[in-house]
Structure 1
């Protein structure tokens, strides 16, 4: 029995290691996609669009005698952008598959083991959700003769947006998002992790009370992120496009995992009356 438990611990540890690997890869590709998209958008201002139209005119007049350098450069940037997005999605998919395996381990490991590894997975997923871009907002306008001109572009993540809101004077909004999208989730997952480690210790008594209090706020973070997305996409101009990025999927995955781990921890504590 101990050997089986040891093997399960090793297997779950390897899975967590693989999740770290794919999570970091997904994050890097998401950042690359953000950077390449920013570069691509820089070619869509009025000046660049005018140059592109002139090159297209020269190409139509001189044919193969004229090299359309700007268009070729844009094509390469678009290829790089598409490749970064495909890789980000691929690594995120692998991460989510491993996360699902951790959730399914509930049926073959003890409640304490599941709470421990589930908490670690939830913490990892939460961190990725906080630092990875979650939304790209592009405002553009169709201008006669020039075509599609980008007026504003911004890629937003939770942490970066909190900082920007704070700096722009939206202290109340920044504080609410910081509290319910960062501090409360981190405290909630940390309490689950501590309970799973110190379940048989007197130290766990206070943590249990805190865990129950935090549990009352289990869905507030979801609500705040939903309001957060609406707030970010609300603009005095016309939002032509709002593109969801990988960070939102990580954050939503954290919400789901933390709910399962919370149920597991509650069941674990209920079966160990001596802890109270």
Structure 2
């Protein structure tokens, strides 16, 4: 590839990567806003608040339009904020995924090294977002006579936060397994991909081929662990009324897919240049 074309391609890919990070951060912010709005909404559904709500409904039935239902007004505002945050989180996640696909496709126009470099950078960003963004929202509620729908328990779970909580609650083995296969191994994998793409010519890069292939063998373990993770979190609650998947899960799954393709690219790249040394 000519140097001028390579510079242009790298510049375009860098700009797209920056835009991808921008939409990723916005998706994260909106996901957190959705989590906060849902938490605020749930706070109105405990037994005390529902009792108060029933009294207000009774007062309104007696006074009619003379009674202003402030709680209902607040709930409507929170629901509007919640819906808006959810839609924007999903919208920004879609933009992120589209740009991620564009980076991978454009990288194919360059060399294996180009694909490995920008693929590993994209995988790193995607992994970070997958780890810090909420992936599951679990709500347990029950219909109580005279009070209505009462929320007994609510949690919005991300990978990092859940690891900490599992550890603190005494589920140390589960916490360690998730930490190992959902944080440490994926992090080590993307760092090794990034390293070999930058220092491809160095002898040290070729000396870690065996280690790199060993890490590659765990490509599907992170998917398996997240699947087990989700089942564990829902089953651990026993009576789950609702389990809602959040955008963080899509980031993590996107990382797994991208890292698999980049792993293949890096392996071919190193094998093609092995004869030099």
Question: TM-score scaled by structure 2?
Answer: 0.97
In structure 1, C-alpha distance between the alignment counterparts of 2:47 and 2:242, rounded to whole Å: 19
1:9 matched residue in structure 2: 10
2:221 matched residue in structure 1: 220
1:85 matched residue in structure 2: 86
1:40 matched residue in structure 2: 41
Contact 1:44 1:149 in 2 (8 A): yes
Structure 1 residue 205 displacement after superposition: 2.4
1:199 matched residue in structure 2: 200
The Cα offsets for residues 218-250 of structure 1, whole Å up to 9 and x where unpaired, read as 111110010000000013541000000010000
1:61–1:275 CA distance, 2 compared to 1 (3 A): farther
1:249 matched residue in structure 2: 250
In structure 1, C-alpha distance between the alignment counterparts of 2:276 and 2:28, rounded to whole Å: 39
1:131–1:67 CA distance, 2 compared to 1 (3 A): same
Q: Does 1:68 align with 2:58?
A: no
Structure 1 residue 266 displacement after superposition: 1.3
The Cα offsets for residues 8-37 of structure 1, whole Å up to 9 and x where unpaired, read as 000000011111111111111101110111
1:218 aligns to what SS in structure 2? coil
Q: Unpaired segments of 5 or more residues in structure 1?
A: none
1:171 matched residue in structure 2: 172
2:259 matched residue in structure 1: 258
2:139 matched residue in structure 1: 138
The Cα offsets for residues 75-115 of structure 1, whole Å up to 9 and x where unpaired, read as 00000000111111111111000001012124311100110
1:22 matched residue in structure 2: 23
In structure 2, C-alpha distance between the alignment counterparts of 1:56 and 1:109, rounded to whole Å: 66
Structure 1 residue 60 displacement after superposition: 1.6
After the TM superposition, list the runs of 4 or more consecutive aligned residues in structure 1 that deviate by more than 4 angstroms: none
In structure 2, C-alpha distance between the alignment counterparts of 1:273 and 1:207, rounded to whole Å: 12
In structure 2, C-alpha distance between the alignment counterparts of 1:79 and 1:269, rounded to whole Å: 52
2:158 matched residue in structure 1: 157
1:189–1:21 CA distance, 2 compared to 1 (3 A): same
In structure 1, C-alpha distance between the alignment counterparts of 2:29 and 2:145, rounded to whole Å: 38
2:55 matched residue in structure 1: 54
In structure 1, C-alpha distance between the alignment counterparts of 2:158 and 2:190, rounded to whole Å: 20
In structure 2, C-alpha distance between the alignment counterparts of 1:232 and 1:80, rounded to whole Å: 27
1:203 aligns to what SS in structure 2? helix
Bigger shift: residues 240-249 or 106-115: 106-115
In structure 1, C-alpha distance between the alignment counterparts of 2:66 and 2:147, rounded to whole Å: 24
1:275–1:37 CA distance, 2 compared to 1 (3 A): farther
In structure 2, C-alpha distance between the alignment counterparts of 1:105 and 1:168, rounded to whole Å: 46
Structure 1 residue 272 displacement after superposition: 1.4
In structure 1, C-alpha distance between the alignment counterparts of 2:238 and 2:153, rounded to whole Å: 9
Q: Alpha carbon RMSD of aligned pairs, Å?
A: 1.0
Bigger shift: residues 100-109 or 46-55: 100-109
